[in-house]
Amino acid sequence: MSRVRHWLPLVLALLAPLLASGQNPQTKVRLLLESQRMAPGTTVYAAVELQMPEGWHTYWSNPSDSGDTGQPTRIDWTLPPFLTAGPIEWPVPTKLQEEAGVVLTLSGRATLLVPIRIASNAPAGTVGITAKVRWLECQKSCVQGSALIQANLIIDNSAPPSAISEAFSGFRKQLPLPQVFPLSFRWLDPPSVKARRFAVSFRNPEGVWDFFPEPISGGSFSSSKEGRPGSDGMIVVEKSLEMTEAKWPESIPGLVVRIGEGGKPLAAHAVAGAFNPAREGLAAMEAESGTAAPSLPMLLLFAFIGGLILNIMPCVLPVIALKILGFVRQGHEAPKRIRILGLGYGAGVLASFAILGALVIAVKLGGKNAHQGMLFQNPMFLVAMTALMVLIALNLFGVFEVSLAGGALDGASQLASREGIAGAFFNGVLATVLATPCTAPFLSVSIGFALGQDARTNPGLILLFFLTAGLGLAAPYVALCMQPRWLRFLPKPGAWMVRFKVIMGFPILATGIWLFSLAAGHYDSDGLLWLGMFLVTIGFAAWIYGEFVQRSRRRKLMGAALAAGVLAAAYLWILESELNWREPSKSAGTKLVGSKRRGKHKLDWADWSPAAVTEAQAAGRPVLVDFTADWCNTCQANTRTAIEVPPVLAMLKSIRAVSLIGDYTHEDPAIAAELAKYHRPGVPLVLVYSKDPGRPPKVLPELLTRGMVLEALEWAANPK
């Protein structure tokens, strides 16, 4: 008897579907044809009409907006070979909240329209059209129903109107209308997440709207976040899609539906649901700000202005010093020559920005996150740039004399010589490389938009934004060279330029020291020593070259061989053997929270993580998050002038705020995903979270003032 009790629940569970199917279905089904007589080569519409009693419903093509509840009606046709049934054209469903979740239902008299194509070689005569219809009908419980329906069609060259064809106009009124207003689809999460949110954005002055997606092979949707019009009429509907397959869809067709009382549809439009990469970033801006995002031409203007502002950012100041020296050299040359050199500098900038754009495209195609300062996270790049800055400084100090034109600069008269197209081009390249970690006003919005594009479908747009920013960076120098008379105000070349040249070496050397500190952070304590030894060694090789090759009249070949030998030793022995520069220490990039950070900063920062934010908000405390990097000069300026200042420190203490730092000096996928979430091309990103966990954070601008930070903290402590 105990064995019977043990197996009885299992037996009943197995028999439940059979018992349910044995119940009498309540839905009545019939098959209608729009015309009883059709010619070959035409299409006749069939209508599968489901008549349900009050309180019962069946399900739409995608029955459940949350989970696996429901089952769509299925039609299996039995047709002669010269007839082909098309896809079902579904009526607009009703949104219904059930215990298991949100379902999309059909009730009352619902009609499924199906086009049936008649082949041009179809023989004349009467043919039978048969379909087996299977459905799930539900009230408080659900019953599986099925029916075999049939109709006859006469095929000949005459097609008089059918007696019931007028009914089909009523059937078609149940279908959604075509799309009649602009609409955009965009992803809200990166492709790396399992359940990826997307948003549907459009304008409508009134109502509550939702999006009912068609079923996606290998995908399941979660319930919607309905959209209501903002102050400008912008409506944003959010959904989430989880894919079991690797590839995300390029489009999600479905319906945008205005919802009335009880989930009844008041209006519905069928949409293709294509994700437009060129509009994705703009729609994201609209959704976040509640206002219209800048147009593409406006964003391109932002890229140009941002590139223009880069000329006064600290990153590029050493190159400005070189350009001042170049202008003095060029000031009294022939106008044609000056214009050529200006174009050479512009070509160097544009070529470098084109390479950066191509690098971003390659990184994105590789499935990795691309951002504005990614080169400065690469230790090999930092070591090479440090060595280059040291060599340029030694050149300006006169240790060796290699001009950018390729000739020797051994006196004031040589200093007045032509810079050379190669030198102008090199200056443009150098300016671009040093500008990569800088974030200028306007540039973050435009480059952030470019980095958000799909590299597979829109590589040209990414490249266009980088080239436009390059035009902005090159514009002042090219404009000066296009008007050579403006350079006549500069002093004439002379002996004073020898001292000026040496003075210009110091900002270059300072840049080299800064790069050295960044490169050293990728290696352990021994690596710091060997990196310093490498720089000393290449400096020694440069001195040998200048002393025994350039300034000596004998044994130049021996001097060149010795310099080459020292350089080879610097690379093979120090870089490859001792420093192991291509494989930096994994522990060197480990973040420190304790004494090191407290000694460098006035705030007691803790490491950022989503869990740390959640924990602080759960305790009822506001949160300040600073995403920063050692190579980001704008970040350091924000910290010194707007965050770690007495008024802000006092406010943080008084409201018991938690201060979190996201250190992006080294690559961090979690921080990269957070930056992408807020459409930033890189750091800085400062977020202020309210003590109310239900409110989204305030996103502060790239360049901060203490007033901005204080206002955000006041909001976080006293949410309205």
Q: What is the pLDDT of residues 367-405, one digit of tens each?
A: 666 777 788 888 999 999 999 889 988 988 989 876 444
Report the b/e string of 108-120 with b at 16+ CB within 10 A. eebbbbbebebee
CA dihedral angle for residue 7, residue 8, residue 10, residue 12, rounded to 10 degrees = 160
Residue 157 has pLDDT above 90, yes or no: no
Report how far residue 275's alpha carbon sits from residue 287's, in angstroms, rounded to the nearest whole number. Answer: 15
Please tell me the predicted confidence (pLDDT) of residue 599: 44
Report how far apart, in Å, the C-alpha atoms of 498 and of each of 17, 329, 494, 529 are: 95, 12, 8, 33
Q: What is the pLDDT of residue 659?
A: 94
Work out whether strand 658-663 and strand 606-607 pair parallel, antiparallel, or are unpaired.
parallel
Cα 451 to Cα 457: distance, rounded to the nearest angstrom: 13
Residue 401 has a pLDDT of: 76
Stretch 301-312: mean pLDDT = 86
* Coil/strand/helix, residue 424: helix
> Rounded distance, CA 637 to CA 642, Å?
8
C-alpha gyration radius of the chain = 35
Residue with the larger pLDDT of the pair 646 and 336: 646
Q: What pLDDT, in 10s, does the model give residues 72-123?
A: 999 999 999 999 999 999 999 999 887 767 889 999 999 999 999 999 889 9
pLDDT of residue 90: 95
In this prediction, residue 416 has a pLDDT band, given cuts at 50, 70 and 90, of: very low
Candidate from 297-311, 318-332, 388-402 with smallest mean pLDDT: 318-332
Instruction: Measure the CA–CA gap between 466 and 356, rounded to whole angstroms.
Output: 8
Residue 415 has pLDDT above 60, yes or no: no
Question: Is 393:697 a contact under the CB 8 Å cutoff?
Answer: no
- Do the beta carbons of residue 505 and residue 340 sit within 8 Å? no
Residue with tokens 């754009």: 357
Cβ neighbours of residue 9 under 8 Å, at least 6 residues apart?
A: none
Q: Which amino acid would we find at residue 421? A: I
Residue 516 has pLDDT above 50, yes or no: yes
pLDDT-wise least confident of 297-311, 424-438, 706-720 = 424-438
Q: What is the pLDDT of residue 23?
A: 60
**Residue range 202-258, pLDDT digits in tens:** 877 688 999 999 988 888 888 778 888 876 677 889 888 888 766 788 888 999 999
- Asked whether the predicted pLDDT for residue 127 surpasses 80, the reply is yes
Of residues 386 and 554, the one with the higher pLDDT is 386
Which one, of 669, 701, 708, lies nearest residue 685 by Cα?
Answer: 701
- The pLDDT of residue 572 is 93
CA distance 58 to 535: 76
* Predicted confidence band of residue 349 (pLDDT cuts 50, 70, 90): very high
| Mean pLDDT across 38-48 | 90
Dig out the tokens for 129 from the structure: 């059209």
The DSSP code sequence of 547-593 is IIIIS-SS-HHHHHHHHHHHHHHIIIIIIIIII-TTS--TTTT----
- At residue 539 the predicted structure's pLDDT band, cuts being 50, 70 and 90, is very high
Task: Give the model confidence (pLDDT) of 446-480 as tens digits.
Answer: 777 787 676 777 788 889 999 999 999 999 888 88
Residue 152, beta-bridge partner list: 128
Asked, colleague to colleague, whether 21-175 and 178-289 share their fold, the answer is yes
Residue 489 has pLDDT above 70, yes or no: no
CA distance 629 to 663: 6
Burial class (CB in 10 A: 0-12, 13-18, 19+), 456: exposed
Span 21-175: which CATH code?
2.60.40.1250
Task: Domain ranges for the chain, please list them.
Answer: 21-175, 178-289, 297-376+409-504, 595-717
How much is the average pLDDT of 412-437? 67
The CATH number of the structural domain formed by 178-289 is 2.60.40
Report whether 303 contacts 428 (CB < 8 A): no
CATH topology of domain 595-717: Glutaredoxin (3.40.30)
pTM > 0.75: no
- State residue 14's pLDDT score: 41
